[in-house]
Amino acid sequence: MPLETAFSMDTSSIKYGPGVTREVGWDMEEQGARRVMVVTDSHLSDKEPVAVTLEALGRHGIDAVLYDRASVEPTDVSFKEAIQFAADGNFDGFVAVGGGSSIDTAKAANLYSTHPADFMTYVNLPIGKGEPVPGALKPLVAVPTTAGTGSETTGVAIFDLLEIKAKTGIAHRNLRPVKGIVDPNNTKSLPKMIAACTGLDQLTHALEALTVLPYNQRPAPEHPKLRPAYQGANPISHIWASRAIEMISQHLVRAIEDPSNDQARGEVLLAATYAGIGFGNGGCHLPHGMSYPVSGMVRDYVPEGYPPEQPLIPHGMAVVLNAPAVFRFTARANPEMHLYAAKLMGEDISDASPEDAGEVLAGNIVEMMRKVGMPNGLSAVGYGPDDVDKLVEGTLPQHRVTKLSPRPASAEDLKQLFMDSLTLW
Ligand SMILES: [Zn+2]
């Protein structure tokens, strides 16, 4: 089978700066939009980022209709509700204000209202049909209010498919927002635990993008339109992922401990975007693949600072809990890159040997997790050895990311990785 020889650099246009949300009216006018669906969730709908967005759109004479029913953990049902709203509303543009869930919901609403199809048509293989998006979408401008998902830069929308209790997604470069409005004013009031989880999500995005299977070790696509958004590590994703790891390692703890530290908070938000460009082009691998059943099978765990009525293992937490075990496992495939990642996190690697690479990187991740108050492994969020087979079963269909593991992982390997993730220190 011939191997891939090409890669591309796809990203949204990004505008960064304190207060830039006030310019979103102009950003949509520039796109030619006159009637816009503003997608957010019910927790944010009466908060400042939404108010500033609506006011800015109004100032440019744009008819803005608020949709505040994006689910915090989107499902096919919540996506379909937003799609229906979009189809009925006859919009010529979309603005998403919120975390990854609101941005992903807006991507789905834009996709299916622009190119109507049966819902499973564009959903990733093997769960859906994985058909490529047939053409351009309407302009979507994303205004992230958490520093973590990087969804403003990617062509990916993640959701839970309720009938099989699995997370899957839609991935195509046409889903990518035309612009990300990255405004540090919008992350000022983020609760500590949310800031920690989203921050560690972006750290893991960057670490995965740096160490993921290289693009030229992936089979070549039969047609350029079949080249995946997650292409594998390449020289461009490398740059963005590397710099994101440095910025997060230097600023995340300070930004969480003191949210009034505008400089640290701004750096973390910018780093989320860098990490998003890194993994949006390079891809993620096992920590993300393994995270989906960890989130999906939650029983009664409620993290501090989250609404008590809904058991939840936040995405970033579910991802980073698997990360130390994964990097100990994958280091053998590319020890130099794993050591380089540890160096970017601030480790002195001058005396480290290639055999140490996994342990050194895992140690740095664990140290960061402890500093920001993560639970000690999967056992601390309600899982035990008896759950491991089910967790493996939930990971196996996540081909889009598991196939990009730098070291192939069998079901038996995944089992061991989950076992090793039960307790981390
Ligand atoms: Zn993530």
> pLDDT tens digit string along 336-395?
999 999 999 999 999 999 999 999 999 999 999 999 999 999 999 999 999 999 999 999
Predicted confidence at residue 306, as pLDDT, reads 80
Average pLDDT over residues 128-143: 96
Band of the pLDDT at 33, cuts 50, 70, 90? very high
Ligand 1 centre distance from Cα of residue 316 (Å): 6
The alpha carbon of 415 and the centre of ligand 1 are apart by a number of angstroms equal to 21
Cα 205 to ligand 1 centroid, rounded to whole Å:
6
Which of the given ranges, 10-19, 49-58, 290-299, has the highest pLDDT on average?
Answer: 49-58
pLDDT at residue 394, rounded to an integer: 92
d(CA 197, ligand 1 centre) in Å: 10
Give mean pLDDT, residues 22-33. 97
CA of 356 to the centre of ligand 1 (A): 26
Mean pLDDT of 13-39: 96
CA 403 – ligand 1 centroid, Å:
17
Highest mean pLDDT among 116-120, 173-177, 222-226, 265-269: 116-120
Tokens (6 digits) for 141: 């401008």
Q: How far is ligand 1, taken at its centre, from the CA of residue 89, in Å?
A: 31
Q: Indicate if the pLDDT at residue 153 is higher than 90.
A: no
Distance 150 CA to ligand 1 centre (A): 8
Q: Which of 186-195, 200-209, 285-294, 375-384 has the lowest mean pLDDT?
A: 186-195
Distance from Cα 317 to the centre of ligand 1, integer Å: 9
Calculate the CA 382 to chain-centre distance: 23
The CA 64 to ligand 1 mean position distance, Å, reads 30
Residue 282 has a pLDDT of 95
Q: Which of 244-253, 292-301, 327-336, 381-390 has the lowest mean pLDDT?
A: 292-301
Distance 160 CA to ligand 1 centre (A): 14
Is residue 123 helix, strand or coil? strand
- CA-to-CA dists, residue 116 to 65, 84, 92, 290, angstroms: 21, 10, 15, 31
Looking at residue 197, its pLDDT comes to 94
Report how far residue 26's alpha carbon sits from residue 194's, in angstroms, rounded to the nearest whole number. 31
CA of 29 to the centre of ligand 1 (A): 31
Q: Residues, the chain, total?
A: 425
**The tokens of 131 are what?**
């058909």
Ligand 1 centroid to Cα of residue 279, in Å, is: 9
Distance 1 CA to ligand 1 centre (A): 31
Give dist(CA 32, CA 26) in Å, integer: 10
Rounded (5°) CA angle 379-385-391: 85
* pLDDT at residue 183 is higher than 80: yes
Could you tell me the distance, in angstroms and rounded to a whole number, from the CA of residue 269 to the centre of ligand 1? 14
pLDDT for residue 148: 63
Which pLDDT tens digit goes with each residue over 73-102?
Answer: 899 999 999 999 999 999 999 999 999 899
Look over the chain and give the mean of its residue pLDDT values, rounded to a whole number: 94
Q: How far is the CA of 30 from the centre of ligand 1 (A)?
A: 31
